[in-house]
Structure 1
Amino acid sequence: MTQTVLITGCSTGFGEASARHFAERGWNVVATMRDPAAGRTLAQHRNILVTRLDVQDRDSITAAVALTLDRFGRIDALVNNAGFGLAGVFEETPRAKMIEQFDVNVFGLMDVTRAVLPTMRQQRRGTIVNISSGAGIIGLPMIALYTASKFAVEGFSESLSYELETVGIRVRIVEPGGVNTNFNTRMDAETRYAEPIADYEPFRSGAERLYDGLRANQAHADVAQVAESIYNATVDSSDRLRWLATEEVKPLAHARRETNEEAYMDTMRGYFRFPEPE
Protein backbone atom coordinates (compact mmCIF):
# COMPACT_ATOMS: atom_id res chain seq x y z
CA MET A 1 0.00 0.00 0.00
CA THR A 2 1.36 3.42 -0.97
CA GLN A 3 1.97 5.56 2.10
CA THR A 4 0.77 9.15 2.44
CA VAL A 5 2.51 12.11 4.09
CA LEU A 6 1.13 15.57 4.79
CA ILE A 7 3.79 18.28 4.99
CA THR A 8 3.27 21.90 6.07
CA GLY A 9 5.24 24.89 4.82
CA CYS A 10 6.11 23.49 1.39
CA SER A 11 6.44 26.69 -0.63
CA THR A 12 10.23 26.79 -0.09
CA GLY A 13 13.10 25.33 1.89
CA PHE A 14 12.86 22.16 3.92
CA GLY A 15 9.18 21.65 3.12
CA GLU A 16 9.61 21.86 -0.65
CA ALA A 17 12.70 19.63 -0.58
CA SER A 18 10.96 17.10 1.66
CA ALA A 19 7.91 16.95 -0.60
CA ARG A 20 10.15 16.05 -3.53
CA HIS A 21 12.18 13.59 -1.46
CA PHE A 22 9.13 11.64 -0.32
CA ALA A 23 7.51 11.71 -3.77
CA GLU A 24 10.65 10.39 -5.44
CA ARG A 25 10.48 7.43 -3.07
CA GLY A 26 6.94 6.56 -4.07
CA TRP A 27 4.92 8.25 -1.32
CA ASN A 28 1.70 10.15 -1.88
CA VAL A 29 2.57 13.69 -0.77
CA VAL A 30 0.14 16.39 0.30
CA ALA A 31 2.29 19.51 0.08
CA THR A 32 0.58 22.35 1.92
CA MET A 33 1.29 26.07 2.04
CA ARG A 34 -0.49 29.37 2.70
CA ASP A 35 -0.59 30.23 -1.01
CA PRO A 36 -0.91 27.17 -3.28
CA ALA A 37 0.15 29.28 -6.26
CA ALA A 38 3.68 29.04 -4.85
CA GLY A 39 3.53 25.27 -5.39
CA ARG A 40 2.93 25.20 -9.13
CA THR A 41 6.20 23.40 -9.81
CA LEU A 42 5.59 20.83 -7.08
CA ALA A 43 2.09 20.18 -8.42
CA GLN A 44 3.59 18.94 -11.70
CA HIS A 45 4.89 15.85 -9.90
CA ARG A 46 2.40 13.01 -10.27
CA ASN A 47 2.76 11.97 -6.61
CA ILE A 48 2.26 15.45 -5.14
CA LEU A 49 -1.04 17.12 -4.30
CA VAL A 50 -0.67 20.82 -3.48
CA THR A 51 -3.30 22.46 -1.30
CA ARG A 52 -3.77 25.39 1.05
CA LEU A 53 -3.00 25.10 4.74
CA ASP A 54 -2.28 28.11 6.93
CA VAL A 55 -1.38 26.97 10.45
CA GLN A 56 -3.05 30.12 11.83
CA ASP A 57 -6.33 29.22 10.10
CA ARG A 58 -7.93 26.17 11.71
CA ASP A 59 -10.57 25.88 8.98
CA SER A 60 -7.79 25.50 6.41
CA ILE A 61 -6.19 22.78 8.57
CA THR A 62 -9.47 20.88 8.75
CA ALA A 63 -9.99 21.22 4.99
CA ALA A 64 -6.48 20.02 4.14
CA VAL A 65 -6.79 16.94 6.35
CA ALA A 66 -10.24 16.16 4.89
CA LEU A 67 -8.89 16.49 1.34
CA THR A 68 -6.00 14.16 2.16
CA LEU A 69 -8.33 11.51 3.53
CA ASP A 70 -10.78 11.91 0.65
CA ARG A 71 -8.00 11.52 -1.93
CA PHE A 72 -5.81 8.88 -0.28
CA GLY A 73 -7.87 7.37 2.54
CA ARG A 74 -5.16 7.56 5.19
CA ILE A 75 -2.36 9.66 6.68
CA ASP A 76 0.76 7.69 7.51
CA ALA A 77 2.99 10.63 8.40
CA LEU A 78 2.77 14.32 9.26
CA VAL A 79 5.76 16.64 8.89
CA ASN A 80 5.22 19.85 10.86
CA ASN A 81 7.63 22.11 9.00
CA ALA A 82 5.82 25.47 8.76
CA GLY A 83 7.42 28.22 10.81
CA PHE A 84 9.26 31.51 10.81
CA GLY A 85 11.86 33.26 12.91
CA LEU A 86 11.96 36.59 14.70
CA ALA A 87 15.38 38.14 15.11
CA GLY A 88 16.13 41.16 17.25
CA VAL A 89 16.43 42.41 20.80
CA PHE A 90 13.60 41.10 22.98
CA GLU A 91 12.79 44.44 24.60
CA GLU A 92 12.32 46.01 21.18
CA THR A 93 9.86 43.36 19.99
CA PRO A 94 6.16 44.34 19.95
CA ARG A 95 3.85 42.03 21.87
CA ALA A 96 1.88 41.28 18.70
CA LYS A 97 5.03 39.82 17.17
CA MET A 98 5.66 37.72 20.26
CA ILE A 99 2.17 36.23 19.94
CA GLU A 100 2.59 35.63 16.20
CA GLN A 101 5.86 33.77 16.77
CA PHE A 102 4.19 31.27 19.09
CA ASP A 103 0.95 31.16 17.11
CA VAL A 104 2.80 29.89 14.05
CA ASN A 105 5.67 27.86 15.46
CA VAL A 106 3.93 26.28 18.46
CA PHE A 107 0.14 26.57 18.47
CA GLY A 108 -0.13 26.08 14.71
CA LEU A 109 2.00 22.94 14.95
CA MET A 110 -0.22 21.71 17.79
CA ASP A 111 -3.42 22.40 15.83
CA VAL A 112 -2.22 20.46 12.79
CA THR A 113 -1.10 17.60 15.01
CA ARG A 114 -4.46 17.49 16.77
CA ALA A 115 -6.22 17.38 13.39
CA VAL A 116 -4.45 14.22 12.21
CA LEU A 117 -4.49 12.30 15.49
CA PRO A 118 -8.01 10.80 15.20
CA THR A 119 -7.08 9.21 11.86
CA MET A 120 -3.75 7.92 13.12
CA ARG A 121 -5.36 6.52 16.27
CA GLN A 122 -7.94 4.70 14.18
CA GLN A 123 -5.16 3.28 12.01
CA ARG A 124 -3.16 2.40 15.13
CA ARG A 125 -0.08 3.69 13.33
CA GLY A 126 1.48 6.90 12.14
CA THR A 127 4.53 9.12 12.53
CA ILE A 128 4.64 12.81 13.46
CA VAL A 129 7.86 14.63 12.61
CA ASN A 130 8.28 18.06 14.19
CA ILE A 131 10.95 20.33 12.74
CA SER A 132 12.87 22.00 15.52
CA SER A 133 16.22 23.76 15.16
CA GLY A 134 19.63 24.10 16.68
CA ALA A 135 17.87 26.96 18.49
CA GLY A 136 15.70 24.30 20.12
CA ILE A 137 18.81 22.82 21.73
CA ILE A 138 20.66 25.93 22.90
CA GLY A 139 19.75 29.52 23.75
CA LEU A 140 21.02 31.97 21.15
CA PRO A 141 21.38 35.77 21.25
CA MET A 142 19.15 37.99 19.11
CA ILE A 143 16.57 35.24 18.56
CA ALA A 144 15.14 34.82 22.05
CA LEU A 145 11.54 34.41 20.90
CA TYR A 146 12.39 32.01 18.08
CA THR A 147 14.53 30.01 20.49
CA ALA A 148 11.72 29.96 23.05
CA SER A 149 9.28 28.68 20.42
CA LYS A 150 11.62 25.85 19.42
CA PHE A 151 12.28 24.93 23.05
CA ALA A 152 8.50 24.65 23.35
CA VAL A 153 8.35 22.37 20.30
CA GLU A 154 11.04 20.16 21.81
CA GLY A 155 9.27 19.83 25.15
CA PHE A 156 5.86 19.30 23.57
CA SER A 157 7.20 16.64 21.22
CA GLU A 158 9.00 14.69 23.92
CA SER A 159 6.01 14.73 26.24
CA LEU A 160 3.62 13.85 23.42
CA SER A 161 5.74 10.89 22.39
CA TYR A 162 4.94 9.07 25.64
CA GLU A 163 1.20 9.57 25.15
CA LEU A 164 1.10 8.55 21.51
CA GLU A 165 3.30 5.47 21.67
CA THR A 166 0.44 3.82 23.61
CA VAL A 167 -1.76 4.08 20.48
CA GLY A 168 0.86 3.14 17.90
CA ILE A 169 1.95 6.64 16.87
CA ARG A 170 5.60 7.69 16.84
CA VAL A 171 6.96 11.21 17.35
CA ARG A 172 10.23 12.45 15.89
CA ILE A 173 12.15 15.73 16.31
CA VAL A 174 14.47 16.84 13.50
CA GLU A 175 17.02 19.51 14.48
CA PRO A 176 18.65 21.36 11.55
CA GLY A 177 21.39 23.90 12.05
CA GLY A 178 22.05 26.87 9.79
CA VAL A 179 21.00 26.21 6.21
CA ASN A 180 20.59 28.86 3.53
CA THR A 181 16.87 28.94 2.71
CA ASN A 182 14.22 31.58 2.20
CA PHE A 183 13.52 31.12 5.92
CA ASN A 184 16.63 33.22 6.61
CA THR A 185 15.36 35.94 4.29
CA ARG A 186 12.06 36.06 6.14
CA MET A 187 13.86 36.15 9.49
CA ASP A 188 15.84 39.17 8.32
CA ALA A 189 12.70 40.90 7.05
CA GLU A 190 10.86 40.32 10.31
CA THR A 191 13.44 42.37 12.24
CA ARG A 192 12.33 45.65 10.67
CA TYR A 193 9.51 46.51 13.02
CA ALA A 194 10.78 48.53 15.99
CA GLU A 195 12.74 51.59 16.96
CA PRO A 196 16.14 50.45 18.24
CA ILE A 197 17.10 51.10 21.85
CA ALA A 198 20.51 52.76 21.94
CA ASP A 199 21.69 50.89 25.04
CA TYR A 200 21.68 47.65 23.05
CA GLU A 201 23.72 48.93 20.11
CA PRO A 202 27.09 47.39 21.16
CA PHE A 203 25.39 44.03 21.68
CA ARG A 204 23.41 44.29 18.45
CA SER A 205 26.48 45.14 16.37
CA GLY A 206 28.48 42.30 17.88
CA ALA A 207 25.69 39.77 17.37
CA GLU A 208 25.11 40.83 13.76
CA ARG A 209 28.82 40.46 12.96
CA LEU A 210 28.80 37.03 14.58
CA TYR A 211 25.80 35.83 12.58
CA ASP A 212 27.18 37.28 9.34
CA GLY A 213 30.27 35.16 9.89
CA LEU A 214 28.22 32.06 10.66
CA ARG A 215 26.13 32.53 7.52
CA ALA A 216 29.26 32.85 5.40
CA ASN A 217 30.70 29.67 6.84
CA GLN A 218 27.44 27.76 6.31
CA ALA A 219 26.93 28.78 2.69
CA HIS A 220 27.31 25.20 1.50
CA ALA A 221 24.90 23.58 3.95
CA ASP A 222 22.46 21.45 1.98
CA VAL A 223 18.65 21.65 2.17
CA ALA A 224 18.51 18.20 0.58
CA GLN A 225 20.48 16.83 3.54
CA VAL A 226 17.78 18.05 5.90
CA ALA A 227 15.06 16.56 3.69
CA GLU A 228 16.85 13.22 3.84
CA SER A 229 17.02 13.43 7.65
CA ILE A 230 13.29 14.17 7.76
CA TYR A 231 12.59 11.16 5.55
CA ASN A 232 14.90 8.87 7.54
CA ALA A 233 13.29 9.96 10.81
CA THR A 234 9.88 9.18 9.34
CA VAL A 235 10.64 5.67 8.15
CA ASP A 236 12.90 4.63 11.03
CA SER A 237 11.30 1.93 13.17
CA SER A 238 13.37 2.44 16.33
CA ASP A 239 12.45 4.43 19.45
CA ARG A 240 14.85 7.26 18.55
CA LEU A 241 13.30 10.67 19.25
CA ARG A 242 15.82 13.29 18.07
CA TRP A 243 17.66 13.58 14.75
CA LEU A 244 20.49 16.10 14.25
CA ALA A 245 20.20 17.07 10.59
CA THR A 246 23.36 19.09 9.86
CA GLU A 247 26.98 18.79 10.97
CA GLU A 248 27.55 22.26 12.41
CA VAL A 249 24.92 21.84 15.11
CA LYS A 250 26.52 18.68 16.51
CA PRO A 251 29.25 20.32 18.66
CA LEU A 252 26.68 22.57 20.33
CA ALA A 253 24.32 19.64 20.90
CA HIS A 254 27.22 17.72 22.44
CA ALA A 255 28.04 20.65 24.73
CA ARG A 256 24.43 20.92 25.86
CA ARG A 257 23.59 17.25 26.26
CA GLU A 258 26.82 15.49 27.06
CA THR A 259 28.72 17.86 29.38
CA ASN A 260 27.95 19.48 32.70
CA GLU A 261 26.39 22.92 33.09
CA GLU A 262 29.66 24.72 33.81
CA ALA A 263 31.37 23.27 30.74
CA TYR A 264 28.36 24.05 28.59
CA MET A 265 28.18 27.69 29.67
CA ASP A 266 31.93 28.11 29.19
CA THR A 267 31.52 26.83 25.64
CA MET A 268 28.58 29.12 24.91
CA ARG A 269 30.19 32.22 26.35
CA GLY A 270 33.22 31.48 24.20
CA TYR A 271 30.97 31.75 21.16
CA PHE A 272 28.83 34.64 22.36
CA ARG A 273 30.95 37.04 24.40
CA PHE A 274 29.87 40.63 23.81
CA PRO A 275 31.10 44.01 25.13
CA GLU A 276 30.51 44.63 28.81
CA PRO A 277 28.22 47.56 29.70
CA GLU A 278 30.02 50.82 30.40
Structure 2
Amino acid sequence: KPMASFGRLFPARRRTGLGLAVTASLAIGVGPRVCSLVAGPAMEAAAPARRAIVTGGSSGIGAATVRGLLDRGYRVFTTGRSNEALAKLQSEVAERRGPAASQEVLRTSVGDVAEEADVARQMQEALDFFGGDVDAAVLNAGCAAGRHLLEDLPVEAFDRVMRTNVRGVMLWTQAVLRVMKPQKRGQIVVTSSAAAMRACPTAAVYAASKFAVQGLVLSVRAELKGTGVKIGTVNPGAVATEWWLEEHRGGYSYSPDNELEKKEKLTFWNSMLSPQAVADAILSLVEQPASSNIESLVLDPSDFG
Protein backbone atom coordinates (compact mmCIF):
# COMPACT_ATOMS: atom_id res chain seq x y z
CA LYS A 1 0.00 0.00 0.00
CA PRO A 2 1.35 3.44 -0.84
CA MET A 3 0.78 4.81 2.61
CA ALA A 4 0.66 3.39 6.13
CA SER A 5 -1.40 5.13 8.79
CA PHE A 6 -0.04 6.73 11.92
CA GLY A 7 -2.50 4.54 13.79
CA ARG A 8 -0.70 1.41 12.58
CA LEU A 9 2.81 2.72 13.11
CA PHE A 10 2.65 4.04 16.64
CA PRO A 11 0.62 1.27 18.33
CA ALA A 12 2.98 -1.24 16.73
CA ARG A 13 5.93 0.44 18.43
CA ARG A 14 4.22 0.33 21.78
CA ARG A 15 3.42 -3.34 21.38
CA THR A 16 6.99 -4.08 20.34
CA GLY A 17 8.32 -2.18 23.33
CA LEU A 18 6.10 -4.14 25.69
CA GLY A 19 7.15 -7.41 24.09
CA LEU A 20 10.83 -6.53 24.51
CA ALA A 21 10.27 -5.56 28.13
CA VAL A 22 8.58 -8.86 28.96
CA THR A 23 11.13 -10.90 26.98
CA ALA A 24 14.04 -9.14 28.66
CA SER A 25 12.50 -9.68 32.10
CA LEU A 26 12.16 -13.40 31.48
CA ALA A 27 15.69 -13.62 30.05
CA ILE A 28 17.28 -12.22 33.21
CA GLY A 29 15.20 -14.45 35.46
CA VAL A 30 12.64 -11.94 36.68
CA GLY A 31 9.49 -13.81 37.71
CA PRO A 32 6.02 -13.61 36.22
CA ARG A 33 4.93 -11.18 38.95
CA VAL A 34 7.30 -8.49 37.71
CA CYS A 35 6.21 -9.13 34.15
CA SER A 36 2.59 -8.62 35.16
CA LEU A 37 3.53 -5.25 36.64
CA VAL A 38 5.09 -4.23 33.34
CA ALA A 39 2.12 -5.34 31.26
CA GLY A 40 -0.64 -4.87 33.81
CA PRO A 41 -1.91 -1.29 33.32
CA ALA A 42 -2.51 -1.80 29.60
CA MET A 43 -4.37 -5.05 30.20
CA GLU A 44 -6.52 -4.22 33.22
CA ALA A 45 -9.18 -2.26 31.34
CA ALA A 46 -9.73 -1.55 27.68
CA ALA A 47 -10.15 2.09 26.71
CA PRO A 48 -13.70 3.11 25.73
CA ALA A 49 -14.41 2.61 22.04
CA ARG A 50 -13.88 5.74 19.99
CA ARG A 51 -16.74 6.99 17.86
CA ALA A 52 -16.69 8.05 14.20
CA ILE A 53 -19.17 9.27 11.60
CA VAL A 54 -18.63 8.45 7.91
CA THR A 55 -20.81 9.99 5.20
CA GLY A 56 -21.02 8.13 1.91
CA GLY A 57 -19.96 4.92 3.62
CA SER A 58 -21.89 2.35 1.61
CA SER A 59 -19.27 1.60 -1.06
CA GLY A 60 -15.82 2.40 -2.42
CA ILE A 61 -13.63 4.70 -0.32
CA GLY A 62 -16.33 5.17 2.30
CA ALA A 63 -16.89 1.45 2.89
CA ALA A 64 -13.13 0.84 3.07
CA THR A 65 -12.90 3.62 5.66
CA VAL A 66 -15.75 2.13 7.70
CA ARG A 67 -13.99 -1.26 7.72
CA GLY A 68 -10.70 0.34 8.74
CA LEU A 69 -12.30 2.23 11.61
CA LEU A 70 -14.07 -0.90 12.85
CA ASP A 71 -10.79 -2.83 12.71
CA ARG A 72 -9.23 -0.11 14.89
CA GLY A 73 -11.91 -0.45 17.54
CA TYR A 74 -14.20 2.44 16.61
CA ARG A 75 -17.96 2.41 16.76
CA VAL A 76 -19.14 3.80 13.44
CA PHE A 77 -22.25 5.62 12.26
CA THR A 78 -22.38 5.79 8.47
CA THR A 79 -24.75 7.36 5.97
CA GLY A 80 -25.61 6.77 2.33
CA ARG A 81 -28.37 7.11 -0.24
CA SER A 82 -28.88 3.40 -0.92
CA ASN A 83 -30.60 1.35 1.74
CA GLU A 84 -29.60 -1.79 -0.18
CA ALA A 85 -25.89 -0.90 -0.18
CA LEU A 86 -25.91 0.03 3.50
CA ALA A 87 -27.71 -3.22 4.38
CA LYS A 88 -25.05 -5.13 2.45
CA LEU A 89 -22.32 -3.43 4.51
CA GLN A 90 -24.14 -4.22 7.76
CA SER A 91 -24.52 -7.87 6.68
CA GLU A 92 -20.81 -8.08 5.89
CA VAL A 93 -19.96 -6.88 9.39
CA ALA A 94 -22.52 -9.26 10.89
CA GLU A 95 -20.87 -12.19 9.11
CA ARG A 96 -17.51 -11.26 10.61
CA ARG A 97 -18.62 -10.35 14.13
CA GLY A 98 -22.07 -11.82 14.60
CA PRO A 99 -25.44 -10.02 14.27
CA ALA A 100 -25.58 -8.68 17.83
CA ALA A 101 -22.00 -7.43 17.82
CA SER A 102 -22.44 -5.78 14.43
CA GLN A 103 -25.36 -3.75 15.78
CA GLU A 104 -23.17 -2.61 18.67
CA VAL A 105 -20.34 -1.32 16.49
CA LEU A 106 -22.06 -0.16 13.28
CA ARG A 107 -25.21 1.82 12.62
CA THR A 108 -26.35 2.89 9.14
CA SER A 109 -28.77 5.59 8.01
CA VAL A 110 -30.22 6.60 4.63
CA GLY A 111 -30.33 10.28 3.77
CA ASP A 112 -29.18 13.14 1.57
CA VAL A 113 -26.04 14.97 2.75
CA ALA A 114 -27.29 18.18 1.14
CA GLU A 115 -30.69 18.10 2.84
CA GLU A 116 -30.58 20.09 6.08
CA ALA A 117 -33.34 18.09 7.76
CA ASP A 118 -31.62 14.79 6.92
CA VAL A 119 -28.30 16.00 8.34
CA ALA A 120 -29.94 17.17 11.58
CA ARG A 121 -31.81 13.88 11.94
CA GLN A 122 -28.74 11.75 11.23
CA MET A 123 -26.54 13.77 13.57
CA GLN A 124 -29.02 13.10 16.38
CA GLU A 125 -29.18 9.42 15.42
CA ALA A 126 -25.39 9.26 15.65
CA LEU A 127 -25.32 10.90 19.08
CA ASP A 128 -28.04 8.55 20.33
CA PHE A 129 -26.09 5.56 19.00
CA PHE A 130 -22.81 6.71 20.54
CA GLY A 131 -24.36 7.84 23.79
CA GLY A 132 -21.76 10.58 23.94
CA ASP A 133 -19.15 12.48 22.02
CA VAL A 134 -17.88 12.19 18.45
CA ASP A 135 -14.15 11.58 18.08
CA ALA A 136 -13.89 11.69 14.29
CA ALA A 137 -15.97 12.51 11.22
CA VAL A 138 -15.09 11.51 7.67
CA LEU A 139 -17.08 13.56 5.15
CA ASN A 140 -16.76 11.36 2.11
CA ALA A 141 -20.04 11.63 0.18
CA GLY A 142 -19.75 13.16 -3.27
CA CYS A 143 -20.77 12.96 -6.91
CA ALA A 144 -19.67 14.03 -10.40
CA ALA A 145 -21.26 14.95 -13.71
CA GLY A 146 -19.36 12.78 -16.15
CA ARG A 147 -17.22 14.15 -18.98
CA HIS A 148 -18.50 17.28 -20.72
CA LEU A 149 -17.06 20.35 -22.35
CA LEU A 150 -18.39 23.23 -20.30
CA GLU A 151 -20.65 24.53 -23.08
CA ASP A 152 -22.31 21.11 -23.25
CA LEU A 153 -22.85 20.65 -19.51
CA PRO A 154 -26.52 20.54 -18.42
CA VAL A 155 -27.23 23.18 -15.78
CA GLU A 156 -28.98 20.52 -13.67
CA ALA A 157 -25.68 18.60 -13.51
CA PHE A 158 -23.90 21.70 -12.21
CA ASP A 159 -26.54 22.18 -9.52
CA ARG A 160 -26.42 18.53 -8.45
CA VAL A 161 -22.63 18.41 -8.15
CA MET A 162 -22.33 21.68 -6.24
CA ARG A 163 -25.24 20.74 -3.98
CA THR A 164 -23.77 17.40 -2.96
CA ASN A 165 -20.07 18.20 -2.94
CA VAL A 166 -20.14 21.70 -1.44
CA ARG A 167 -23.44 22.18 0.37
CA GLY A 168 -23.24 18.62 1.73
CA VAL A 169 -19.76 19.17 3.17
CA MET A 170 -20.79 22.53 4.62
CA LEU A 171 -23.90 21.14 6.35
CA TRP A 172 -22.10 18.15 7.85
CA THR A 173 -19.13 20.28 8.94
CA GLN A 174 -21.54 22.62 10.73
CA ALA A 175 -23.30 19.73 12.46
CA VAL A 176 -20.07 18.07 13.59
CA LEU A 177 -18.47 21.31 14.80
CA ARG A 178 -21.47 21.98 17.03
CA VAL A 179 -20.59 18.77 18.85
CA MET A 180 -16.79 18.82 18.68
CA LYS A 181 -16.14 22.42 19.72
CA PRO A 182 -17.78 22.02 23.16
CA GLN A 183 -15.74 18.78 23.55
CA LYS A 184 -12.57 20.78 22.70
CA ARG A 185 -11.33 17.89 20.57
CA GLY A 186 -12.08 15.91 17.43
CA GLN A 187 -10.84 15.27 13.89
CA ILE A 188 -12.75 16.01 10.69
CA VAL A 189 -11.45 14.56 7.41
CA VAL A 190 -12.98 15.65 4.11
CA THR A 191 -12.51 13.52 1.02
CA SER A 192 -11.62 16.13 -1.58
CA SER A 193 -9.72 15.41 -4.81
CA ALA A 194 -6.51 16.04 -6.68
CA ALA A 195 -8.90 17.90 -8.99
CA ALA A 196 -8.91 20.65 -6.34
CA MET A 197 -5.31 21.44 -7.25
CA ARG A 198 -5.04 21.20 -11.03
CA ALA A 199 -6.89 21.77 -14.28
CA CYS A 200 -9.39 19.05 -15.21
CA PRO A 201 -10.55 19.42 -18.83
CA THR A 202 -14.07 18.04 -19.39
CA ALA A 203 -14.58 17.87 -15.61
CA ALA A 204 -14.64 21.60 -14.86
CA VAL A 205 -17.66 21.54 -12.57
CA TYR A 206 -16.36 18.63 -10.51
CA ALA A 207 -13.01 20.43 -10.17
CA ALA A 208 -14.78 23.67 -9.23
CA SER A 209 -16.71 21.87 -6.49
CA LYS A 210 -13.49 20.45 -5.05
CA PHE A 211 -11.72 23.83 -5.24
CA ALA A 212 -14.67 25.18 -3.23
CA VAL A 213 -14.32 22.38 -0.67
CA GLN A 214 -10.61 23.11 -0.34
CA GLY A 215 -11.32 26.79 0.31
CA LEU A 216 -13.99 25.94 2.86
CA VAL A 217 -11.70 23.57 4.76
CA LEU A 218 -8.74 25.97 4.80
CA SER A 219 -10.95 28.75 6.14
CA VAL A 220 -12.48 26.53 8.82
CA ARG A 221 -8.96 25.42 9.85
CA ALA A 222 -8.16 29.05 10.60
CA GLU A 223 -11.38 29.42 12.59
CA LEU A 224 -10.53 26.33 14.66
CA LYS A 225 -7.15 27.53 15.89
CA GLY A 226 -6.91 26.93 19.63
CA THR A 227 -10.15 24.94 19.88
CA GLY A 228 -8.62 21.45 19.95
CA VAL A 229 -10.60 20.47 16.84
CA LYS A 230 -8.78 19.62 13.59
CA ILE A 231 -9.90 19.49 9.98
CA GLY A 232 -8.02 18.39 6.87
CA THR A 233 -8.51 16.90 3.42
CA VAL A 234 -7.41 13.81 1.56
CA ASN A 235 -7.03 14.55 -2.15
CA PRO A 236 -6.85 11.40 -4.29
CA GLY A 237 -6.41 11.16 -8.02
CA ALA A 238 -8.33 8.52 -9.96
CA VAL A 239 -9.64 5.76 -7.67
CA ALA A 240 -10.89 2.34 -8.82
CA THR A 241 -14.39 2.44 -7.36
CA GLU A 242 -17.71 1.20 -8.71
CA TRP A 243 -18.49 4.79 -9.67
CA TRP A 244 -16.09 4.68 -12.63
CA LEU A 245 -18.10 1.90 -14.26
CA GLU A 246 -21.50 3.54 -13.72
CA GLU A 247 -22.00 6.19 -16.35
CA HIS A 248 -25.42 7.22 -15.05
CA ARG A 249 -23.74 8.33 -11.80
CA GLY A 250 -21.13 10.40 -13.61
CA GLY A 251 -18.62 7.64 -14.22
CA TYR A 252 -17.13 6.46 -17.49
CA SER A 253 -18.45 3.08 -18.55
CA TYR A 254 -17.30 1.21 -21.65
CA SER A 255 -19.28 -0.43 -24.45
CA PRO A 256 -19.33 -4.22 -23.88
CA ASP A 257 -19.22 -4.85 -27.64
CA ASN A 258 -16.22 -2.57 -28.22
CA GLU A 259 -13.18 -4.64 -27.26
CA LEU A 260 -10.64 -1.84 -27.84
CA GLU A 261 -12.58 0.61 -25.70
CA LYS A 262 -13.06 -2.06 -23.04
CA LYS A 263 -9.32 -2.82 -23.00
CA GLU A 264 -8.40 0.86 -22.74
CA LYS A 265 -10.86 1.51 -19.92
CA LEU A 266 -9.82 -1.58 -17.95
CA THR A 267 -6.14 -0.73 -18.41
CA PHE A 268 -6.89 2.69 -16.96
CA TRP A 269 -8.89 1.03 -14.16
CA ASN A 270 -5.93 -1.17 -13.21
CA SER A 271 -3.64 1.87 -13.01
CA MET A 272 -5.86 3.70 -10.51
CA LEU A 273 -5.51 4.05 -6.76
CA SER A 274 -7.37 1.43 -4.74
CA PRO A 275 -10.15 2.50 -2.35
CA GLN A 276 -8.10 0.91 0.44
CA ALA A 277 -5.11 3.15 -0.33
CA VAL A 278 -7.29 6.23 0.02
CA ALA A 279 -8.93 4.85 3.18
CA ASP A 280 -5.47 4.32 4.68
CA ALA A 281 -4.67 7.97 4.01
CA ILE A 282 -7.94 9.04 5.63
CA LEU A 283 -7.20 6.88 8.67
CA SER A 284 -3.74 8.42 8.99
CA LEU A 285 -5.42 11.80 9.49
CA VAL A 286 -8.01 10.38 11.87
CA GLU A 287 -5.29 8.82 14.05
CA GLN A 288 -2.54 11.41 13.68
CA PRO A 289 -0.72 12.33 16.92
CA ALA A 290 -2.03 15.19 19.03
CA SER A 291 1.10 17.16 18.15
CA SER A 292 0.30 17.27 14.40
CA ASN A 293 -2.46 18.86 12.34
CA ILE A 294 -2.30 17.71 8.72
CA GLU A 295 -3.83 20.14 6.24
CA SER A 296 -3.98 17.97 3.09
CA LEU A 297 -2.69 14.68 1.75
CA VAL A 298 -2.48 14.40 -2.04
CA LEU A 299 -2.41 10.87 -3.50
CA ASP A 300 -1.73 9.97 -7.11
CA PRO A 301 -1.37 6.53 -8.72
CA SER A 302 2.22 5.31 -8.62
CA ASP A 303 2.69 5.73 -12.38
CA PHE A 304 1.25 9.25 -12.43
CA GLY A 305 3.56 11.66 -14.11
**Bin for the TM-score computed over the shorter chain:** 0.7 to 0.9
Letter in 2 for 1:239: N
Task: Specify the SS of the correspondent of 1:167.
Answer: coil
- Matching of residues 117-156 of structure 1 within 5 Å: 117-156=177-216
Which of 208, 216, 226 matches 2:267? 216
Letter in 2 for 1:101: V
Alignment correspondent of 2:155: 95
Alignment correspondent of 1:231: 283
Residues 162-219 of structure 1 deviation map (CA, whole Å, 9 limit, x = unaligned): 1113311101110111111122234x32569xxxxxxxxxxxxxxxx99x95862451
Q: Any conservation in 1 of the 2:51–2:74 contact (CA below 8 Å)?
A: yes
Alignment correspondent of 2:295: 241
Letter in 2 for 1:49: R
Alignment correspondent of 1:7: 54
Larger radius of gyration: 2
Q: Any conservation in 1 of the 2:243–2:250 contact (CA below 8 Å)?
A: no
Unaligned runs of 5+ in 2: 1-47, 94-101, 252-259
Task: Specify the SS of the correspondent of 1:239.
Answer: coil
* Counterpart-to-counterpart distance in 2, 1:176 and 1:217: 15
Task: Specify the SS of the correspondent of 1:59.
Answer: helix
Alignment correspondent of 1:82: 141
- Matching of residues 45-56 of structure 1 within 5 Å: 45=93, 46=102, 47-56=105-114
* Counterpart-to-counterpart distance in 2, 1:248 and 1:33: 30
Which of 28, 33, 46 matches 2:75? 28
Under a length normalisation based on structure 1, what TM-score does the superposition of the two structures give? 0.78
| Residues 12/66 of structure 1: CA separation in 2 closer, same or farther (3 Å cut) | same
* Counterpart-to-counterpart distance in 1, 2:298 and 2:160: 27
Q: Any conservation in 1 of the 2:194–2:299 contact (CA below 8 Å)?
A: no
Task: Specify the SS of the correspondent of 2:198.
Answer: coil
Task: Specify the SS of the correspondent of 1:165.
Answer: coil
Letter in 2 for 1:153: V
Post-superposition, which runs of at least 4 consecutive aligned residues in structure 1 deviate over 6 A?
Answer: none
Which of 36, 41, 60 matches 2:118? 60
Residues 201-254 of structure 1 deviation map (CA, whole Å, 9 limit, x = unaligned): xxxxxxxx99x9586245153211111111111111312211123444975xxx
Unaligned runs of 5+ in 1: 193-208, 252-278
Residues 5-36 of structure 1 deviation map (CA, whole Å, 9 limit, x = unaligned): 11111121101111111011110111111123
RMSD (Å) for aligned C-alpha atoms: 2.3
Pick which of 106-115 and 87-96 moved more.
Answer: 87-96
* Counterpart-to-counterpart distance in 1, 2:264 and 2:220: 37
Q: Any conservation in 1 of the 2:241–2:274 contact (CA below 8 Å)?
A: no
Q: Any conservation in 2 of the 1:17–1:224 contact (CA below 8 Å)?
A: yes
